[in-house]
Structure 1
Amino acid sequence: MSLSPPSPVSHYVLLNTNAGTANATGVTAESLGDLFAANGLTATIDADGDRPLVDRIAAAMASGAPTIVAAGGDGTITALAATLVGTDRNLAILPLGTVNALAKDLHVPLDLPAAVAALATGVAHRIDVGEVNGRVFLHKVVVGLIPGLAAGREHIRGRYDASAKIGFLRYMFRRLARARRIAVVIQPSEGERRVERVQAIAVSSNAYDEGLGQFFSRHVLDGGTLTLYVLRHLNPGDFLRLTASMLLGHWQNDEALTMESVQAVTIDSRKSLIKVMFDGEVENLQPPLQFSIRPRSLSVIVPAEYATPAEAA
């Protein structure tokens, strides 16, 4: 694996000022520019939230900058990554969202000044991406009950008061108590076609780790496989047990869950549209859902201390 330092003066930054952390802390183009300058970096910073994101990404690609920085949440990062996949341009992340899943997997500091400082000395590293029906995802796509729960979360986005959180917990447990299983057809690239009745299915790029305190984290992002998770039932008791198991580091042996490594898999349903959680965003996709892996197709910037001496050379 070869890693190389990004250009110290060629960064094009897409700043989403409406992202969770950015909105809460009041990050602006000016304050972000000052952080870049303090670390010896020059950058073009696009903070024009009134322009469609697709137009802003096109302008970033047209700039010729070798490193394009997503300063926002997982939605901004996934949208930019979809354009950078298969190119020699680098994706860098300044985690300003609520979850910041990929940033955590890449060990990017969640503190903005520290993240910019890490970018100044970072190195390029190639990772896998998943695809479903031709669209790139970086973490996972989830089908079934979970997207419905995530949709309920949208009603309290930006609210941090106790009443909003209690209301969401009530909504979540009502949904869990009333949830019905759905019938899906699963066809792995290597294996038999089967029909399952499930509460949820997740397909992730590589596999999530199991260990004490590791909650949906991955230490391998270039293993070249998808992981298929099938959750056959999820009542309130299952939810509490699985959550505790994840925190304690032994969730993969839960009796409600099976998992398998695949190169590709197709998931079909009789429904004309399937609600999914796509890298954290809820939307509808048309089945069949055809998943595949694109090994080492995206170049990302990671902190130098997480590269081995051989890789950083």
Structure 2
Amino acid sequence: MDTKPHIRFIINPKSGPKSKVDVAARIKLHLDHSKYSHEIVYTAHAGHATELAQTAAGQGAAMVVAVGGDGTVSEVARGLLGTETALAILPRGSGNGLARHLQVPMNIDGALRVINQGQSTRIDSGTINGHPFFTTAGIGFDAYISSVFAGNKKRGLKTYVELVLKEVRYYKHLPVKVSINGNTLDTDCFVLAFANAAQYGNNAYIAPLADIRDGLLDVCLVRQLDMFKALNLSYCMLTKQVASPDSAEYFKTDSVDVETDHRIMYHADGEFIGHDSKFSVRLLPLSLKVITLEKP
């Protein structure tokens, strides 16, 4: 009987560049078989990765590896929340936000070396209206872009930037009531981002000071956005700098409640969730075990 720690690789066959690498072959070639037993399974529909991860955790797997983009990673992570089974990542998407934060190499062979080392730590996660997220969630313009991006056949940073530049001129800020740290803000809102990790993905840092293990969310509020502020904010995001106070405001907290007069869009980890007029955002400390190159 094989008593080695077991790994389940969950592959999203729709993720990855057009010039597809034989991921299964790379796994079989570079995984340390003296340390681990393994199996490879494939997703068949949305939400399937969560089911496959939950089953693996229930069977006592040491590790479940998400092979895909941010959506696949988020689905697998949801299935592992609160368990002793660790999430590992073979990045195959366009953004790879959590993988980048955990310093996982963007190439398959490098990511497999991290898995072979098997160094684990625990990280925080968050929920927005009960939907788990691991990098960022938000309401306002970034949620709107997530909804548009989801329906676009083209992926990648270039497509995302083109959409932002096209849509930013037409999106209007909305009034919101934000309850945070015992205070209530009646404010305009262009973007209200809740950051567990520092970046959206593609090294675009919405909250450069965010620590994924500190038990706090970094909240970024952009009240109104003209072209000058948009350029300043974009530059800061791409250079990992905190935006100037007239462009964005930052708060640290473990919970946020938001009310709006009208139902507005929201997202979790870049996935458009839907519309609501009330939002409850909560931090779940050290709720997910992950494999990482070093402590994030």
TM interval, short-chain normalised: 0.7 to 0.9
In structure 2, the residue corresponding to 1:221 is in which secondary structure? coil
Q: Deviations over 1:105-128 (max 9, x none)?
A: 111111101111111013110111
Q: Which residue does 1:44 correspond to in 2?
A: 39
Instruction: Give the 3-state SS of the residue equivalent to 1:293 in structure 2.
Output: strand
Is the CA contact 1:127–1:297 (under 8 Å) kept in the aligned structure 2?
A: yes
- The answer for the alignment partner of 1:114 in structure 2 is 110
Is residue 34 from structure 1 mapped to residue 29 from structure 2 by the alignment?
A: yes
| Distance in 2 (alpha carbons) for counterparts of 1:206 and 1:101 | 8
Q: 2 CA distance for matches of 1:218 and 1:36?
A: 34
Structure 2 residue aligned with 1:185 = 177
State the AA in 2 paired with 1:267.
V
Q: Are the aligned partners of 2:139 and 2:267 in contact in 1 as well (CA < 8 Å)?
A: yes
Counterpart CA distance in 2 for 1:43 and 1:166 is 36
Q: Over aligned residue pairs, what C-alpha RMSD do you find? A: 3.0
2:187 match: 196
Higher relative helix content? 1
Alignment partners' CA distance in 2, 1:283 and 1:39: 42
Paired residue for 2:243?
Answer: 252
Letter in 1 for 2:281: F
Aligned residues: 290
Superposed displacement of residue 294, structure 1: 1.1
1:299 corresponds to which letter in structure 2? Answer: K
Trace 1:91-240 onto structure 2 (pairs within 5 A): 91-158=87-154, 169=162, 172-188=164-180, 190-205=181-196, 215-216=205-206, 220-240=211-231
Most deviating of 33-42 and 175-184: 33-42
- The one-character-per-residue Cα deviations of 1:212-231 (angstroms, maximum 9, x if unpaired) are x8734667311111111110
Deviation, 1:198, is 1.4
- What amino acid does structure 2 have at the position aligned with 1:47? Y
**What one-letter code is carried by the residue in structure 2 that aligns with 1:152?**
V
Q: 3-state SS of the aligned residue for 1:253?
A: coil
2:266 corresponds to = 276
The normalised TM-score by structure 2 is: 0.85
Kindly name which structure, 1 or 2, has the bigger radius of gyration based on alpha carbons. 1
Distance 2:28 2:51 in 1: 22
Structure 1 segments unaligned to the other structure (5+ residues): 1-6, 309-313
**Secondary structure in 2 aligned to 1:152?**
helix
Preserved contact between residue 141 and residue 277 of structure 1 (Cα < 8 Å): yes
Shift of residue 83 of structure 1?
Answer: 2.2
Cα pair 1:126 1:296 within 8 Å, conserved:
yes
Letter in 1 for 2:170: R
Deviation at 1:247, TM superposition (A): 3.6
Which of residues 238, 252, 263 in structure 1 aligns to 2:254? 263
Query: Post-superposition shift, 1:47?
Result: 1.9
Q: Which has the higher strand share?
A: 2
What percent of counterpart residues are identical? 22
SS of alignment partner, residue 10 of structure 2: strand
